Chains A and B, each alone.
Chain A
Amino acid sequence: MQISLWKLFISFLKIGAFTFGGGYAMIPLFEREFVHRYKYIKEEDFTDILVICQSLPGVIAVNFAVYIGMTLRGKKGAFVSGFGMILPSFVIIMTIAAFLYRFVEHEAVVAVFQGVRVAVVVLIFSAGLKFLKQNFHFRGIFLAFLTFTLIAIVYVHPFFVIGLLGVLGYLIHIISGVSHHADDNA
């Protein structure tokens, strides 16, 4: 049975509205909704779709929504899914942004944000450690260190560094051949 556009929209709206912690936190919810609950997508296809969405630039959750929408209901499906995914963020953030700057001078708010800034750095740092663990081999560490040095120390624009690393990766890949793949797929 075909999923209705409305159901598709509501599914993504729900996940977008109630998942805290960014796109990665949404992956188990996508799986529960589309693989286990409605069985619109097979387990092995789900993993493939996820890999493709992570291999493309952009917002992983939105990429996923558009992919699923496109697969199940074509262009209209892609549109309602992507829109459903973005809408909650859009409304919530604008509401907060509209009120925030009335209180920003208040000394209690200043104090609270001073503490929260530390937590933000902790969260980014820990995301970095997680990715580092997945790339914990000589080449991975070397390329990560190269990226860090170029951006943070030499102050090269991240646009160029991303391009450079893509080209380097491609060259390494064609020179080293297929046999060295295993360690990249961690």
Chain B
Amino acid sequence: MLMTMLSLFVTFVGIGAVAFGGGYAMLPLFERMIVDTHGWLTMTEFLDMLAIAQVTPGPISINSATFIGFQINSVIGAAIATTGLVLVPVILVSLISTNAERFKKSTFAQGIFVGLRPAFVGLIFASVYSVAFDAYVDVYSVLLFIVLFVLLKVFKMHPIFVIFISAIAGYIIYI
């Protein structure tokens, strides 16, 4: 168990240190490390975890880290994963908040973002690509995708309601 806890901590420190672009851009990292490398969750459990992380308040990546850590070793696992995730960024923020002017003018910080900003787009679509295989099991799920997308984008429905409707639809279709 000690080795698992250590590996949980190292994994989340690593994700936190390179996770530019917020919650959604982190998903491929989460998926590769949690599902593929360590097998802590199956792909289906990973998707269910994401659903829970979205319908509950708070940052999605904190919700995910807490959930994954809790699955592995209860409260201690949750604390280790969440602390690990924020460790490097929190240190960086504390250092930079007192040197904000220098950071803003730094060519290095501006430069890497020329590459990282488009990378977020690629990262997010890479998540869509891999989770889609698990979510789209039949023609109903494809139809449901179209309906939900229209509700979200055209009717500007709040994401929470979109998830709520998908839950009702799931119940009606699959029970």
Chain A residues proximal to chain B, CB less than 8 Å: 16-24, 26, 48-49, 51-63, 66-67, 70-71, 75, 78, 82, 85-86, 88-90, 92-94, 96-98, 100, 107-108, 110-128, 131-132, 134-135, 139-152, 157-159, 161-163, 165-174, 181, 184
Residue of A nearest to B168 (CB): A115
The answer to whether A146 and B111 touch across the interface, beta carbons within 8 angstroms, is no
User: Which of A17, A115, A158 sits near B170, CB closer than 8 Å?
Assistant: A115
Q: Point out the residues of chain B lying under 8 angstroms from A48, CB to CB.
A: 100, 104
The distance from the CB of A108 to the nearest CB of chain B, in whole angstroms, is 6
**Contact of A151 with B122 at beta-carbon distance under 8 Å, contacts A118-B135, A184-B113 already known:** yes
User: Which of B60, B67, B107, B129 sits near A23, CB closer than 8 Å?
Assistant: B60
Q: Point out the residues of chain B lying under 8 angstroms from A144, CB to CB.
A: 118-119, 121-122, 125
User: Which of A21, A60, A117, A165 sits near B48, CB closer than 8 Å?
Assistant: A117
- Binding site secondary structure of chain A: helix
Chain B residues proximal to chain A, CB less than 8 Å: 14, 16-25, 27-29, 32, 47-48, 50-63, 66-67, 70-71, 75, 78-79, 82, 85-86, 88-90, 92-94, 96-98, 100, 103-104, 107-132, 134-137, 141, 144-145, 148-149, 152-153, 158-160, 162-163, 165-171, 173-175
**Contact of A117 with B47 at beta-carbon distance under 8 Å, contacts A152-B130, A161-B119 already known:** yes
Give complex CA distance A92, B128 in Å: 26
The answer to whether B118 and A140 touch across the interface, beta carbons within 8 angstroms, is yes
**Contact of A111 with B173 at beta-carbon distance under 8 Å, contacts A96-B52, A147-B123, A173-B110 already known:** yes
The answer to whether B89 and A19 touch across the interface, beta carbons within 8 angstroms, is no
Which of A21, A59, A147, A169 has the most chain B CB atoms inside 10 A of its CB? A59
The answer to whether B122 and A145 touch across the interface, beta carbons within 8 angstroms, is yes
The answer to whether A90 and B85 touch across the interface, beta carbons within 8 angstroms, is no
| 7 pairs of A and B residues whose beta carbons are closest in the complex | A115-B170, A169-B115, A58-B89, A147-B122, A89-B58, A119-B166, A173-B111
Give complex CA distance A161, B119 in Å: 8
The distance from the CB of B53 to the nearest CB of chain A, in whole angstroms, is 7
User: Which of A125, A158, A169 sits near B28, CB closer than 8 Å?
Assistant: A158
**Contact of A128 with B56 at beta-carbon distance under 8 Å, contacts A93-B70, A113-B48 already known:** no
